[in-house]
Structure 1
Amino acid sequence: MKKSFAILSILSFLLFLAVWASVKSEWILPWDQTLLDQFGKLDWLGMFSIFGSKTVIGLCSIGLILFLWFRKKDFYGIVLVLAAVGGGYGLNTIIKNAIGRERPLFPHGEEGFSFPSGHAMVGSIYLLLIAYFAGMEVKKRSAKWMIYIVCSFLALLTGISRLSIQAHYPSDVLAGFFLALPYLYICLTGYEFFTKKRSIQSKTNKASFTF
């Protein structure tokens, strides 16, 4: 993994801890409420919440797994998707239950605790995973950037949509974004380590056979 990605992931995790501390101390609550009221006026953003639903994430993850299996024969890639998306859900649930922050008092119809936002966190993870593997399929650098920009923008809209329907506070969404990046970095680092190790072993075996 690139060093810049590692630095960005560490910074993102520190920002997550900072948001967590601000929520625990409750000094951010007035800002949360003010921003939540403003986003509540943007009803049209609510439609993007579907990108963070379990159904869409599940279908996209299955589609990605099928692509990795039939097109790439990438077993480690499949494990990556399961660990990143499934593990992301698990980590999000554990933190939510540990912190126990109640959701905003609005008729959003959502259950469970609020911090951090699962839509922001897991939505970002699976969309960036799609960008990661899709980027491998194109050669032009500009095309790779476009894929990452589109997926990142969809992740951003997915998180913000939770504010428009008043299901989360802004700090919940920020925390979800900030936690997604370091968790994804850990998963991708493991994936690239084992992929590289397999590649080295394959070349070694091939050289031995040729000899």
Structure 2
Amino acid sequence: MDLAVLPAFLLAVVLISASPGPAMALVFRRAALEGFRPTVATVLGLEAGLYLWALAAGAGLAALVAASETAYLVLRVVGAAFLVYLGVRSWAAALRSRDAGDGADAPDTRQPRGRWPSLRAFGEAAAVQLANPKAAVFMFAFYPQFVSPDQPLLQTTALLALLQVAVETVLYLGLAAGVARVGAWFRRPAVRRRLEAITGTVLIALAGRVAFSPR
């Protein structure tokens, strides 16, 4: 790996990771409503999806997705549909909470549903990342800028991706820890309803951007 490119690579990764998007929305929502520990699975799922896309870019598979209109369209539709599903689910949770007539001040201490909530959170986050065609195009355009022609593409991309995963993991876990510190306020039923509604709206809007924005 060419160490001279690392400062520029790390700066680009920090700026990219800090930009709003589906990943940040998922991390914020889970940390606010469920606390720090359940959010770890979401962060790991996002980074697993990111790393798989990076390996695909190194192997040339991301280039095929970027070049194929059919593959890009399929991923775009699947990604948008999944984001809509998550957005509708957030809105449904907000409406259920309103209909239940929960108190406005007492924190909601209910645990996440399902037998394996962490595994479900990991799978959802990985699916959001893998079903995003923008990720394929981004990886295909981003990583080759930091790989010299005389370096092995796949191995160098894998190492750079590990750095990106490490940086993003630290940033997202830091965000989760900060949000979780005031989690009791977010879990007050009135605040929770608003947060679920806002998150649902943001995810549906992001689905529209995935579905209709140009490459």
Query: TM > 0.5 between the two?
Result: no
Normalised to the residue count of structure 2, the TM-score between the two structures is: 0.28
Structure having greater relative contact order (Cα 8 Å, sep ≥ 6): 2
